[in-house]
Structures are given as C-alpha cells and as structure tokens.
Amino acid sequence: MMNVLRKTIVLLLCGGGFIGVGFAAPSKPLGQGFDLKKVNVPSQPSNGVASGAAQGLGLLQIVGVASSSYARYEYLGSNSRSTSQVHNGAIEVAVLQYGYGNTQPASLNGAAPMRSKTVTFCGSLRNLHTCRAGEKLSAWLYFYQFEPSQGGYFTMSANSTAAPFGTAKVSLSIKAN
C-alpha cells in the first residue's frame, strides 16, 4: 500500500484571476512535542491546595512557547517575562491552569489564536497525570496557535469559579527578529 502524503490545495489568485495551484503541508498537531515533566511549577499553588482535586484557581502560568523558527518548546519558569529565543511564523503558546476557573480569550498582539486545544489532568500540582476513573479534574493545559506572527505580546486571564475567588492574568513578551 502506498503512503499518501496529505496536503492542502491552495488556490493562487491574482487580480481576481486564477493563476495556479500550490500545496501546503498541514500544521502539526497542537501540543506535539510538549513534555509536561519539563515544566517548572511551584510545589504548591497560591490557593494553598497541595493535593487531590483542585479548588479555586491556584495557578495560571505560561509554561512554554514553540514556533516555526524555534521548532522545539522553550520551557519557561514561573517568573519569566519574555522568551530568550526568537519566535516567528506559527507561534504556539502553552498555558497551565491549576484549579477551577473560566478562561478569558487569549491574544497575541491583540489577535485571537487561529487554533486552540485543551488537555486535562488530575492530581496534585507536582504529580499531574492523565485522569483515571473516579478522579476529579485538577488542571488544564491550553495550547494556542497564532500564525503568521513575528513575536509580540501574549496575554490571557482566568476567573476563579471556586474559593478563593479572583482573577489571574498572565503575559509574556515573545522575542522576534
């Protein structure tokens, strides 16, 4: 059986007229290559809940950035205010939320993401894992993709839906050429 490379046909238009057909490879799946074990998080969330099911929003942290120009993830610490690598083209931002909250729209330079994906986890902040039957969700890992982009300023926020109530906001300056 022949392997078939899936491609997307791109119609090239110029001045209202058809000028040709090209091919563009599909984008890689969001979160591909992300390793949760490389994320540096505090041992305890800010709401004091150390284990079991999360209560109110205890952590909202930008944990990684990848892009067309820097293919692997640049993992970020909790105090990171900017990336150290240059990111251009399709930019993917990973945000970890621990505790129950409603997220507000993420943006890069004021633009909404082209695609997004959410992965859920259970367990304590230091022991996040795929949920088993009967466990309560405690964390959400959001992936946002923006394209095309030349770095910029990423922002996101979430409102806690359980005590302690409040809003957490995160931002990051993403370096460009």
| 83 assigned to some structural domain | yes
Cis, bond preceding 148 (omega within 30 deg of 0): yes
CATH number for position 67: 2.60.40
Asked if residue 132 belongs to a domain, the reply is: yes
25 versus 89: which is more confidently predicted? 89
* Predicted pLDDT of residue 21: 33
pLDDT at residue 83 above 60?
yes
Asked if residues 104 and 169 have their Cβ atoms less than 8 Å apart, the reply is: no
Q: Is 5 inside any structural domain?
A: no
Cis amide prior to 45 (ω within 30 degrees): no
Q: Is residue 53 part of a domain?
A: yes
Count Cβ atoms below 10 Å from residue 1 Cβ, excluding itself.
Answer: 3
Average pLDDT score over residue span 28-51? 69
Domain residue limits at 99? 29-174
Q: Is 22 within a domain?
A: no
Range with the poorest average pLDDT among 28-42, 59-73, 83-97, 104-118: 28-42
- Asked if pLDDT for residue 2 goes beyond 70, the answer is no
Q: Residue 16 pLDDT more than 90?
A: no
Which residue shows structure tokens 């979160």? 31
**Does 4 map to a domain?**
no
The verdict on pTM exceeding 0.75 is yes
Whether 159 is in a domain gets the answer: yes
Total tally of structural domains belonging to the chain: 1
Q: Is residue 11, in this structure, part of any structural domain at all?
A: no
Task: Please say if the pLDDT value at position 11 is more than 60.
Answer: no
134-158 residue pLDDT tens: 999 999 999 999 998 899 999 999 9
Question: Which residues are paired to 18 by β-bridges?
Answer: 13
pLDDT of residue 105: 94
Give the residue, 69 or 42, on which the prediction is more confident.
69
State mean pLDDT over 12-20. 33
pLDDT given for residue 27 in this prediction: 57
